[in-house]
C-alpha cells in the first residue's frame, strides 16, 4: 500500500511540474509570442546605480510602441547581456514596467495598471540587480517573449 501512495504522489508531482512549466496559452512553440511583431522597442539606454544596501542595480530604459490592433496589458522581455570573453550572454527575463513620472524620481508601474492602447507608445524601465560582472556594458539585446492583450 505505501508503494502505491508513493507512485501516485510522484506522478502527481510530475504532472503538476509539467503543467506549471507550460508556456502561456497564446505563445508559439518557438518561445516568441505571436503579438510580439506588433511591439517596437526603441531608444534603449542603460544606466547603473547602487542602492542603500550597496547592491549594483542596472536600469534599461526605452520606449515601447504598440503597432497592433489590441490593447497590451502585459509584456515580458528576455534581455541578453553580452560579454567580451566569447561566452554565451547572460539571459534574464523580466516584466516591463511603464514610466509614469520622472519628477522628483522615476516612478514605474506594471502595464496592466494603464494598458498600452493600439497606436500608442510609452517609456519603460527594466530593473536588474543580478547582471554578471562580465557584462560588456553594452545595451542588452531585448526580445519580446510574452504579450498579454485584450480587444
Q: Are 32 and 143 in contact (CB under 8 A)?
A: yes
Q: Is residue 118 included in any domain, yes or no?
A: yes
pLDDT digits (tens, 9 = 90+) for 67-96: 999 999 999 999 999 988 878 889 999 999
Domain of residue 127, CATH code:
2.60.40
Position 143 scores a pLDDT of: 93
Residue with the larger pLDDT of the pair 16 and 75:
75
Q: Is residue 105 included in any domain, yes or no?
A: yes
pLDDT digits (tens, 9 = 90+) for 23-53: 444 444 456 789 999 999 999 999 998 878 8
Print the domain residue range for 68: 27-150
Position 100 scores a pLDDT of: 87
Position 7 scores a pLDDT of: 62
Q: What mean pLDDT do residues 44-68 have?
A: 91
Burial of residue 98, with CB atoms counted within 10 A of its CB: 0-12 exposed, 13-18 middle, 19 or more buried: buried
Q: Report the C-alpha gap between 96 and 75 in whole angstroms.
A: 6
Q: How many domains does the chain have?
A: 1
The residues facing 79 across adjacent strands are: 92, 142
Q: Report the C-alpha gap between 88 and 27 in whole angstroms.
A: 25
pLDDT band for position 12 (cuts 50, 70, 90): low
Q: Is residue 52 included in any domain, yes or no?
A: yes
Cell (9 digits) for 47: 544606466
Q: Report the C-alpha gap between 135 and 79 in whole angstroms.
A: 12
Q: Which of 12-16, 26-30, 36-40, 111-115 has the lowest average pLDDT?
A: 26-30
Amino acid at each position: 500500500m505505501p508503494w502505491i501512495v508513493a507512485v501516485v504522489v510522484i506522478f502527481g508531482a510530475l504532472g503538476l511540474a509539467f503543467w506549471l512549466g507550460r508556456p502561456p496559452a497564446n505563445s508559439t512553440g518557438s518561445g516568441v509570442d505571436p503579438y510580439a511583431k506588433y511591439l517596437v522597442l526603441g531608444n534603449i539606454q542603460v544606466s547603473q546605480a547602487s542602492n542603500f544596501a550597496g547592491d549594483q542595480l542596472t536600469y534599461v530604459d526605452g520606449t515601447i510602441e504598440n503597432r497592433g490592433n489590441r490593447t497590451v496589458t502585459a509584456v515580458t522581455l528576455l534581455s541578453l547581456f553580452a560579454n567580451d570573453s566569447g561566452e554565451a550572454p547572460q539571459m534574464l527575463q523580466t516584466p516591463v514596467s511603464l514610466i509614469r513620472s520622472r519628477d522628483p524620481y522615476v516612478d514605474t508601474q506594471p502595464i496592466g495598471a494603464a494598458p498600452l492602447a493600439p497606436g500608442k507608445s510609452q517609456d519603460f524601465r527594466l530593473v536588474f540587480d543580478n547582471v554578471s560582472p562580465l557584462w560588456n556594458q553594452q545595451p542588452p539585446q531585448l526580445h519580446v517573449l510574452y504579450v498579454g492583450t485584450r480587444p
